[in-house]
Amino acid sequence: MKKVYIKTWGCQMNEYDSSKIVDLLQKNQNCIITKESSNADILLLNTCSIREKAQEKVFHQLGRWKHLKKNNNNLIIGVGGCVASQEGEYIIERAPYVDIVFGPQTFHRLPEMLNKFYKTKNAIVDVSFPKLEKFKSFPKTISHSPSAYISIMEGCNKYCAFCIVPYTRGEEVSRPSIDILLEISELAAQGVREITLLGQNVNAYRWFDEKSGKIYTFANLLRLVASITGIDRIRFITSHPIEFKDDLIEVYKDTPKLASFLHLPVQSGSDRILNLMKRSHTISYYKSIIEKLTKARPNIQISSDFIVGFPGETKYDFDQTINFISEINFDMSFSFLYSPRPGTPATYLPDKVKEEEKKYRLYILQNIINKQAKQWSEKMLGTIQRVLVDKILHDNESISGKTENNRVVVFNGSSNNIGKFVDVKITDSNIHFLKGKLINVENDINL
Ligand code: SAH
Ligand code: F3S
């Protein structure tokens, strides 16, 4: 049995891809996973190139692994993910001790690549974009948690001026609805209760069924997922404002299984910057979505992504972002300093704002977001929340799970409650999690 060590950087999609790599290697290569890089036979790095000095970080990590090859001649090093997709052959040129380079759309070929490498000992690079091929190779998904992720579409056609994703993950491709529904039914049969639908732009989902001549949109797909017995909570990441159409708002009205929490990236509160970012939407359009959503779901909470220090962002643009954050009252959100990505159009825009000033703006923005998230948590004190229990903690007396609005709650309970929805009264809140008291377990009345 070969021991595989895998290090994953980046988004939820990369985590998902790594879990599939593990399934594939366990099934087709008789591999086991090790948590120690020093005793591994195969080292894999699943990389991310969304921000910062991604390439340098990769070569530093590889430099550390290079030394392990001195003690083990047969050690194989593979690099995958978005940096691999971006750099391709150059990875082997700069780090000749790397044996396999694979992309986000070719990692399912790893078993074949390994076999070929064992025979020829020649480095292999495959960062091509074979559409949907990988999904056919995945072994049946086994979930170890009552909450599971499932990829419904890949890639992005939006080409925001700052973003590298369309170049590294390719254009939008949707999986057949029937495959997604079958996989979720199988997960439900294993006891999965909550599904998170994954994709770079889930609401761009579209599948044309040749047999019936019907087009399945994201709204159609959500309703079908909600009809699966056993699945009681549905989430999705990430959606784009531009495709947040009325049919999707309707699903919020009539599908209670869809969680009242939405992550909808806006990036900036200034129309001028949104235009430079090529986001294809304005602030008033974004606001109109939130208004419609709040009508459909008065208790919905919204989180977002913000980029601070985009080229040419003035103090006035930044203030507009800050005002917009307060106006929408965004919950916990992600915010980043703009980071120029090789080959993206934003790198050619003039930029006079000093790095110090950008960092200061980020600090201000994060303080406001944190303050608002804290207020949202405090509002929950004394309320009763529906929680899906997914963990028993080390003390063996506390269990934890997530509320509909994505907060972790810790409370006393037994492992028998894992995989169940329970009612918890919130008694305490801090920055990272809430504490509560178990009131009711589904099917059990009054504890
Ligand atoms: N729709 C995508 C967004 C991917 S990138 C998804 O699957 O989530 C996630 C976030 O990273 C973006 O919303 C944006 O806020 C941030 N980001 C992307 N490129 C960036 C860059 N060049 N510099 C700083 N932040 C960036
Ligand atoms: Fe990136 Fe914009 Fe697509 S942020 S993933 S190009 S929607």
What's the CA gap between 6 and 23, in Å, rounded?
12
Vertex 81: Cα angle to 43 and 25 (nearest 5):
45
Question: What spacing in Å lies between the alpha carbon of 50 and ligand 1's midpoint?
Answer: 6
* Residue 445: per-residue pLDDT: 56
Kindly report the protein residue whose alpha carbon is nearest to atom 7 of ligand 2.
Answer: 158
Residue in 272, 271, 266 with CA at minimum distance from that of residue 282? 271
Q: Is 333 helix (H, G, I), strand (E, B) or coil?
A: coil
Mean per-residue pLDDT pooled into runs of 10, the chain (447 residues): 95 94 92 94 96 88 93 94 95 97 96 96 96 89 93 96 96 95 96 97 96 95 98 97 97 98 98 98 98 97 98 97 98 96 95 95 98 96 98 94 97 96 96 94 70
Which ligand is in closest contact with the Cα of 340? Answer: 1
Residue in 163, 179, 186, 169 with CA at minimum distance from that of residue 343? 163
Backbone angles phi, psi at 15, to 5 degrees: -60, -45
Q: Given ligand 1 and candidates 51, 242, 355, which is best to mutate, with the most ligand atoms within 8 Å of its CB? A: 51
Q: Give the pTM.
A: 0.94
What's the CA gap between 171 and 335, in Å, rounded?
25
Q: Is 263 helix (H, G, I), strand (E, B) or coil?
A: strand
Buried b (16+ CB within 10 A) or exposed e, 135-148: bebbeebebeebbb
Is 158's C-beta closer than 6 angstroms to any atom of ligand 2? Answer: yes
Q: Is 355 helix (H, G, I), strand (E, B) or coil?
A: helix
Ligand 1 atom closest to Cα of residue 339 = 23
Is 335's C-beta closer than 6 angstroms to any atom of ligand 1? Answer: no
What's the CA gap between 368 and 329, in Å, rounded?
10
- 48: Cα within 13 Å, side-chain hemisphere: 14
Radius of gyration of the chain (CA): 23
Is 336's C-beta closer than 6 angstroms to any atom of ligand 2? Answer: no
* Residue 71: per-residue pLDDT: 87
Which ligand is in closest contact with the Cα of 167? Answer: 2
Question: What spacing in Å lies between the alpha carbon of 217 and ligand 2's midpoint?
Answer: 20
Question: What spacing in Å lies between the alpha carbon of 319 and ligand 1's midpoint?
Answer: 21
* Residue 70: per-residue pLDDT: 87
